[in-house]
Structure 1
Amino acid sequence: MPTSPSDPGPRGGAPYDLAVIGAGPAGLAAAVTAADLGLRCALVDAGPRAGGQFYRHPAPELGAAHPERLHHGWETFARLAARLDGHPRITHLPDRQVWTAGRRADGWRLHLTGHHQGPDAPPGEVLDAAAVLLATGAYERQLPFPGWTLPGVVTAGGAQAMLKSGLVLPGRRVVVAGSGPLLLAAASSLVTAGAAVPAVVEATDYLGYARGLKTLAANPAKLVEGAQHGAALLRHGVRLRRRSAVVEAHGTDRVTAVTVARLDRDWRPVPGTERRIACDAVAVGHGLVPQIELATELGADTRATPDGTVALAVDAEQRTSLPGLYAAGETCGVGGADLALAEGVLAAHAVAGRPAPAGARRRRDRRRAFAELMAAAHRPGTGWTGWLTPETDVCRCEEVTAARITEAVEELGARDARTVKLLTRAGMGWCQGRMCGPAVACLAGGPHPSHPPRPDSRPLACPVPLARLADLGEAEL
């Protein structure tokens, strides 16, 4: 078995028992559990260090004395990292992405590419595995507004990433806005690190949680976590503005202030309620979108989630609709680290053909129920488009404005995001629609409760040099 991080195994050689894609909570838990059960595992991750977005931590050269102070659940990560380090049945492959995969008679073939893609980049790697676990996590959902492209406007998760991995703040006076539990966590981290947060601007009113009192009672740890974040904000005098949104950011070279407005039940700004707040940074996000492009291109079944996104459909053992392909964590629907850990453990036992621990199954069921409640409570209202102006950039990579998308829909007959992309280039930039995709889909006339969103599908899961494609033989796919 190969043990070097640079050697994923001989091309066409004996496969691994399991290839795990993603080294966040779900992937880490799955890899170490499967290896402890006797499976040979490859752990492929885009990051330089294990942990994913949730357990993102500073590089050793920064010399952080207490990185655990920036994290919730650091002890769990430390235990997983210790089990991963030097495990004889795990090959850890950092700084790599799987850009395509193919089904073979004896399992799966994964094609890997590294972050270094220049002319002197090493040749593409091929990894064979009997089973694959997709634990690629999620990315943030962004709803554009005038001024959101100004320097100093970052995502809520981006603000946390800057703090956790770089030990820097996005600004000294940061407005946190959007919707979802990530806002409270981000604001709590920022004020604890020394930033001033004049307001947390939440588009919902949290009343949606009242529909699931039984689910809340079954997840006391989530209530405690929320109370801890709330207590930190109270200690620092942070004001929570519910059913409100940042509808404009102001500034020239950098954001200097935002306009906040009250929202009606459908998220339309209420005229006359605008208030201006001075700041030098804005951290904004409206929940997360499962990152499932690799699986949807292969034809895996999906499901619509209560917050209007699309996740992979899995059974009680974390199997997708494709033989030998499993999923865990945010790819199955956004639900947080505790849920991801439980699903990773369950998937590992299923791949190994071993009965899963009853405790892990109970935790998965409780956390999944809470995730569905949370998603429904923070689903964006359709009226958010009311804060756009015709000049607002919706696709920031290709600088496609709201007016051009409206023209494609109303004058050129576009009825979905794909047609809008072909007519305007919205979603054709480096991020491949991850930043603008949900917004473009809404402006194109969906999603609607009676018409679930169509899963994103693309032949390549990440950018890859043409040389990689030219090197492939037909038998390798």
Structure 2
Amino acid sequence: MTERPHLAVIGAGPAGLAATVAAAAHGVRVTLLDSAARAGGQFYRQAAAELRAARPQALHHRWRTWQRLSDALALHVEAGHVSHLTGHHVWFVERRLSEGGGAADSSGPLDSFTVHALLGPEQDIPVEVRADAVLLATGGYEQVLPFPGWTLPGILTAGGAQAILKGSLAVPGRTAVVAGTGPLLLPVATGLAAAGVEVAALVESADPKAFVRRPRVLAAQPGKIAEGAQYAAQLLRRRVKLLTRHTVVEAHGDERVEAVTVAALDTDGRVRPGTERRLVCDTLAIGHGMLPHTDLAETLGCRLDGLSVHVDDEQRTDVPGVWAAGETTGIGGADLALAEGHIAGRSAAARLTGAVPDPRGWATAAKSRTRSREFFAALDTVYAPPACWTELVTDDTIVCRCEEVTGGAIREAVAGLGAGDVRTVKLLTRAGMGWCQGRMCGPAVAGLAGCELAPSRRPFARPVPLGVLAHAGEAEDDDHQ
């Protein structure tokens, strides 16, 4: 098996799993690295084995697809085609320029790569995986927009609430409001209600009726429409109040959130005076869409299209030997991630083994990819944060939680000190200098500064102990050769 070309896949969500299974089935040795203890990513997040979930399928959509992927992965691991490394937090991928001795495709020798990861409870044990090619399936993260009171305990992202439910088989509270915008809100509200949480309301800032003006896109995805209708029917059956074109104005509480104020929005995305109402809750699950994880792609020098990694029809980036699939190439849900992962895995296997890639082998996946991309392009136009959300951020509202930078400090940096981009605001206020390195507050800072959110060009994908950096290159080689 060590004579097979070696592909490192980073991320074990739908895209990474599909890519791993496809590549391993077509003659490539794969090392699958993921930070979680079990494969699945956010969509197929698995409960800890110690919890012994009796009916894990009750918390998941399309469970049979997960079972097929999981079973195929287990077979490849048993056969020695795949090494699945759990708990590995990848912080850097080092590209080594080819000298002609590594793997090659039709364009010539490919570069080789060293994947640097951290292992252990403290994430301080360095691990290095050497590979002939890399496939980035690093997923996405939720966009967080601040408002007065948003830092109170009991307030978490919509995806965070879902992660607690799926991963811990626990609920974040007894009475919840699910708010923000985007298709994720429906399964989150439904999942919480099914688990016994009283969902006081689902507060959606967009108007889903706008989909009616896109009949062609809707007709191409009847399954998605049926899925949405099923969620809506479950919420209706549980008498969950649905407030469309509404937004959370403020959260209230002392030790934790006790209530939220919501209000209706006008056609310009501004709060309509006099429409405010107070909803009692001990949990607020809020989200405003997703953003792609591109840190590793950026450090490798991959081209970005806006905030997403640019790929061709084979899911190849413009860096030789680097493929990308799933949310990192653009937010599009599990179906799109599965299709892109399959295509990327097949393409990588063909290129690494010297075969000529045959698009007929992934024709079905390519059709699914096209339909999904069109559908989510339409979603993006419907589910967008309120146009005037920054007006809700008061001067004393914390925007950067790590450094406790307020909205007023950011506005002063822009209006009083001439800052015109996120980097300058960061230098003047320290917004984005904390542990998360601006991942949480970046969109909010950009919105308040009146500029576009741009890639950060961080040198590493996550914080790294200085001792690990000092000894980089000396870690145990964990490429399982």
**TM-score (ref. length: structure 2):** 0.91
Structure 1, unpaired ranges of 5+ = 3-13, 305-309, 448-452
- What's the offset of the Cα at 1:220? 1.0
Q: Which residue of 1 aligns with 2:389?
A: 384
Q: Which residue of 2 aligns with 1:22?
A: 11
Please, which of 61, 85, 91 is the counterpart of residue 72 of structure 1? 61
Q: Measure the CA separation in 2 of the matches of 1:87 and 1:226.
A: 40
Q: Which residue of 2 aligns with 1:317?
A: 314
Q: Measure the CA separation in 2 of the matches of 1:432 and 1:270.
A: 35
Q: Which residue of 1 aligns with 2:420?
A: 415
Q: Secondary structure at the match of 1:357?
A: helix
- What's the offset of the Cα at 1:209? 2.3
**Any idea what the Cα deviations from partners look like across 1:169-225, whole Å, max 9, x if unmatched?**
111110000000000110010111111111110011124423432111111111111
Please, which of 53, 57, 81 is the counterpart of residue 89 of structure 1? 81
Q: Which residue of 1 aligns with 2:103?
A: none
> Equivalences for 1:287-306 in 2 at 5 Å?
287-304=289-306
Q: Which residue of 2 aligns with 1:327?
A: 324
> Equivalences for 1:158-307 in 2 at 5 Å?
158-304=160-306
- What's the offset of the Cα at 1:116? 3.2
Q: Secondary structure at the match of 2:217?
A: helix
Q: Contact between 2:9 and 2:134, CA under 8 Å: does it hold in 1?
A: yes
**Any idea what the Cα deviations from partners look like across 1:372-421, whole Å, max 9, x if unmatched?**
11112112243101111111111112111101111111111111111111
Q: Contact between 1:16 and 1:42, CA under 8 Å: does it hold in 2?
A: no
> Equivalences for 1:389-404 in 2 at 5 Å?
389-404=394-409
Q: Which residue of 1 aligns with 2:410?
A: 405
**Any idea what the Cα deviations from partners look like across 1:224-269, whole Å, max 9, x if unmatched?**
1101110110100111111110110000001110000111233221
Verify: 1:147 aligned to 2:172, yes or no: no
**TM-score (ref. length: structure 1):** 0.91
Q: Measure the CA separation in 2 of the matches of 1:115 and 1:145.
A: 36
Q: Measure the CA separation in 2 of the matches of 1:317 and 1:202.
A: 36
Q: Measure the CA separation in 1 of the matches of 2:390 and 2:280.
A: 24
Q: Contact between 2:4 and 2:27, CA under 8 Å: does it hold in 1?
A: no
Q: Measure the CA separation in 1 of the matches of 2:298 and 2:33.
A: 19
Q: Contact between 2:23 and 2:30, CA under 8 Å: does it hold in 1?
A: yes
Root-mean-square deviation over aligned CA pairs: 1.7
Q: Which residue of 1 aligns with 2:376?
A: 371
Q: Which residue of 1 aligns with 2:343?
A: 346
Q: Which residue of 2 aligns with 1:9?
A: none
**Distance change in 2, residues 1:399/1:446 (3 Å):** same
Residue identity in the other structure for 2:194: T
Q: Contact between 1:266 and 1:384, CA under 8 Å: does it hold in 2?
A: no
Q: Secondary structure at the match of 1:319?
A: coil
- What's the offset of the Cα at 1:437? 1.0
Q: Which residue of 2 aligns with 1:464?
A: 464
- What's the offset of the Cα at 1:15? 8.8
Q: Contact between 2:299 and 2:457, CA under 8 Å: does it hold in 1?
A: yes
Identity %: 55
Q: Secondary structure at the match of 1:398?
A: coil
Q: Contact between 1:139 and 1:288, CA under 8 Å: does it hold in 2?
A: yes
Q: Which residue of 1 aligns with 2:479?
A: none
Q: Contact between 2:7 and 2:134, CA under 8 Å: does it hold in 1?
A: yes
Q: Secondary structure at the match of 1:197?
A: strand
Q: Which residue of 1 aligns with 2:104?
A: none
**Distance change in 2, residues 1:350/1:226 (3 Å):** same
Between stretches 87-96 and 262-271, larger displacement belongs to 262-271
Q: Contact between 2:206 and 2:386, CA under 8 Å: does it hold in 1?
A: no
**Any idea what the Cα deviations from partners look like across 1:68-89, whole Å, max 9, x if unmatched?**
1000012111111111122421
Q: Contact between 1:15 and 1:128, CA under 8 Å: does it hold in 2?
A: no
Q: Measure the CA separation in 1 of the matches of 2:4 and 2:136.
A: 17
Q: Measure the CA separation in 1 of the matches of 2:324 and 2:473.
A: 28
Q: Which residue of 2 aligns with 1:5?
A: none
> Equivalences for 1:421-436 in 2 at 5 Å?
421-436=426-441
**Distance change in 2, residues 1:113/1:15 (3 Å):** farther
**Any idea what the Cα deviations from partners look like across 1:313-371, whole Å, max 9, x if unmatched?**
11111111111111111011111111100110000111122423211111111111111
**Any idea what the Cα deviations from partners look like across 1:81-119, whole Å, max 9, x if unmatched?**
11112242101111112211222214222111125347x
Q: Measure the CA separation in 2 of the matches of 1:162 and 1:458.
A: 29
Q: Secondary structure at the match of 1:31?
A: helix
Verify: 1:39 aligned to 2:31, yes or no: no
Q: Contact between 1:18 and 1:132, CA under 8 Å: does it hold in 2?
A: yes
Structure 2, unpaired ranges of 5+ = 99-110, 351-356, 477-481
Q: Contact between 1:15 and 1:129, CA under 8 Å: does it hold in 2?
A: no
Q: Measure the CA separation in 2 of the matches of 1:211 and 1:323.
A: 41
How many aligned residue pairs are there?
451
Q: Contact between 1:43 and 1:92, CA under 8 Å: does it hold in 2?
A: yes
> Equivalences for 1:80-159 in 2 at 5 Å?
80-85=69-74, 86-104=78-96, 105=98, 106-117=111-122, 121-122=124-125, 124-159=126-161
Q: Contact between 1:174 and 1:197, CA under 8 Å: does it hold in 2?
A: yes
Q: Measure the CA separation in 1 of the matches of 2:254 and 2:422.
A: 31
Q: Secondary structure at the match of 1:300?
A: coil
Q: Secondary structure at the match of 1:198?
A: strand
Q: Measure the CA separation in 1 of the matches of 2:288 and 2:268.
A: 15
